[in-house]
A and B are shown apart, each in its own frame.
Chain A
């Protein structure tokens, strides 16, 4: 493998990793505030793919993108309101099962509405345009994904660390009752968290599917699972952890494909998960397990 090709692969890996990171953040945010693994998150990402197909059938891309993002946010918040909120005081296992139910519901709904056949993902011409940087040529989306990821992560960290609503999110994630005593509305804060997670999944979906070119009802399953693993590897609950986990998986997977082991590229994710759980169950950036009752 020559240097250019190597760099080319690295770029592909970083780009895939960026999309993974954006989705992994959704898992980590929701886990942080509800101690819930939102199994439906991957399917929200899949639905965002379909939203784009339908939006682009009518509107130009610059109108479609905001529509898709808004629709994805609405879907995420709606799921929280209908499937998780009524279970706020139920055992955590019930909420988890509800999440699995929503995941199947979305997959079957998509199959029913859009058939199981893969649909072509619309091309956004400027994203697909090939650029050349120092011998590496790739489409704009490949160069853009890591940049967008870093910018969004930076904004998210600002939001959580330095704004009132961010402070409320951190307070709610620690102590529901005392947060209420401060005047914070728990449900609103949780909805906001789902909105942010879904927004990032929407962005991730545009970047990911532009590269993949098709969407089908199970498009969200494997990426969803991988991004959950990314969040666990990074330390679930930690945003930098989700980002690092996403990049590790994206790069690792791409390197394996480049070396000719593409059959193992999915297995790699789970082997990494097992190793991580064995040597450092709390993940790279994970804190001590503070179980919430």
Chain B
């Protein structure tokens, strides 16, 4: 579905992504793990066109999307749950969900109902200003908002950040559920353990490069990964 080839991204003189290639096959959950500052968010932001690639190509279902502007890329069926949630604080919960479907012109009823099913809390709070939601609720809203665009590919940048363990588990269950409903998932996580458990395929990123890849289970069993990202000594 998504293919990234030899992607390089610069911020001024600093090379944040130094030529990475990876693939996200249709229907799978792919995860990108790595330490702080490895370039994970930069990669996702480049895929959505918020940041320009210096070199390399990104293609979605065989069509090159590098160079398109963000709204055009979103229109092709990619969506991003950004780092730090970024819900619109002075729009209501319902408005935030509706704005997620900004490019759609069909009826939203079913999708809103579906999101409320996934996140019953949002239903109770549909008239509340999003800025007054708790962190976990904002994260749920950010995911719901992304789903409202009916994406083919949903990318999530650290959805479990700052959430209580129980909620984290809930979020991962929902990621699985979203995937089962036919949406391809590209997931960035600090919580490598959980991410590798649900991932079909995983990549490890270190200072702008992909250093390891394999199935989720393979990386979970890998000694180096265990030492570096799972906090388990050799």
Scoring B residues 72 to 91 as 1 if CB is less than 8 Å from chain A, else 0, what string do you get? 00110001101000101111
Q: Do residues A170 and B82 form an inter-chain contact, with CB atoms below 8 A? A: no
- For residue B95, CB closer than 8 A to chain A, the reply is yes
**Candidate in B88, B145, B149 with the most chain A CB atoms within 10 angstroms:** B88
Scoring A residues 64 to 94 as 1 if CB is less than 8 Å from chain B, else 0, what string do you get? 0000000000000000000000000000000
Chain B binder among A16-24, A37-45, A181-189, A265-273: A181-189
Q: Which single member of A170, A175, A183 contacts B102 (CB below 8 Å)?
A: A183
The number of chain A residues touching the other chain, given as a range, is 10 to 19
Minimum CB–CB distance for A105 against chain B, Å: 30
Minimum CB–CB distance for B87 against chain A, Å: 8
- For residue B176, CB closer than 8 A to chain A, the reply is no
Q: Do residues A170 and B80 form an inter-chain contact, with CB atoms below 8 A? A: no
- For residue A178, CB closer than 8 A to chain B, the reply is yes
Q: Do residues A180 and B70 form an inter-chain contact, with CB atoms below 8 A? A: yes
Scoring A residues 152 to 185 as 1 if CB is less than 8 Å from chain B, else 0, what string do you get? 0000000000001001101100110110111111
Q: Do residues A171 and B88 form an inter-chain contact, with CB atoms below 8 A? A: yes
Q: A171-B88, A174-B88 are in contact. Are A180 and B82 (CB under 8 A)?
A: no
- For residue B152, CB closer than 8 A to chain A, the reply is no
Alpha-carbon distance A183/B71, docked complex (angstroms): 4
Q: Do residues A182 and B89 form an inter-chain contact, with CB atoms below 8 A? A: no
Alpha-carbon distance A178/B100, docked complex (angstroms): 10
> In the complex, what residues of A have CB within 8 A of residue B227's CB?
none
Majority secondary structure, A binding face = helix
Q: Which single member of B48, B89, B95 contacts A181 (CB below 8 Å)?
A: B48
Q: Which single member of A181, A184, A185 contacts B82 (CB below 8 Å)?
A: A181
Minimum CB–CB distance for B201 against chain A, Å: 25
Alpha-carbon distance A167/B149, docked complex (angstroms): 16
Which residues of B (99-126) have their CB < 8 Å from a CB of A? Answer: 99-100, 102-103
Alpha-carbon distance A184/B145, docked complex (angstroms): 14
Closest to A287 in B: B90
Q: Do residues A177 and B50 form an inter-chain contact, with CB atoms below 8 A? A: yes
Q: Which single member of A170, A178, A183 contacts B86 (CB below 8 Å)?
A: A178
The number of chain B residues touching the other chain, given as a range, is 20 to 34
Alpha-carbon distance A164/B102, docked complex (angstroms): 8
Q: Do residues B74 and A183 form an inter-chain contact, with CB atoms below 8 A? A: yes
> In the complex, what residues of A have CB within 8 A of residue B88's CB?
170-171, 174-175, 178
**Candidate in A167, A174, A177, A182 with the most chain B CB atoms within 10 angstroms:** A182
Q: Do residues A174 and B90 form an inter-chain contact, with CB atoms below 8 A? A: yes
Alpha-carbon distance A86/B48, docked complex (angstroms): 22
Closest to A168 in B: B102
Q: Do residues A167 and B99 form an inter-chain contact, with CB atoms below 8 A? A: yes
> In the complex, what residues of A have CB within 8 A of residue B91's CB?
167, 170-171
> In the complex, what residues of B have CB within 8 A of residue A184's CB?
71, 99, 102
- For residue B18, CB closer than 8 A to chain A, the reply is no
> In the complex, what residues of B have CB within 8 A of residue A164's CB?
102
Q: Which single member of B71, B75, B90, B100 contacts A170 (CB below 8 Å)?
A: B90
- For residue B98, CB closer than 8 A to chain A, the reply is yes
Q: Do residues B102 and A180 form an inter-chain contact, with CB atoms below 8 A? A: no
Q: Do residues A182 and B102 form an inter-chain contact, with CB atoms below 8 A? A: yes
> In the complex, what residues of B have CB within 8 A of residue A171's CB?
88, 91, 99
> In the complex, what residues of A have CB within 8 A of residue B102's CB?
164, 167-168, 182-184
Q: What are 24 A-B pairs at a CB distance below 8 A?
A: A164-B102, A167-B95, A167-B98, A168-B99, A168-B102, A170-B90, A171-B88, A171-B91, A174-B88, A177-B82, A177-B86, A178-B86, A178-B88, A180-B50, A180-B71, A181-B48, A181-B86, A182-B99, A182-B103, A183-B70, A183-B74, A183-B102, A183-B103, A183-B149
A binding-site residues for B, Cβ under 8 Å: 164, 167-168, 170-171, 174-175, 177-178, 180-185
Q: A178-B88, A182-B100, A184-B99 are in contact. List 8 more A-B contacts (CB 8 A).
A: A167-B91, A170-B90, A174-B88, A175-B88, A180-B74, A181-B48, A182-B102, A184-B71
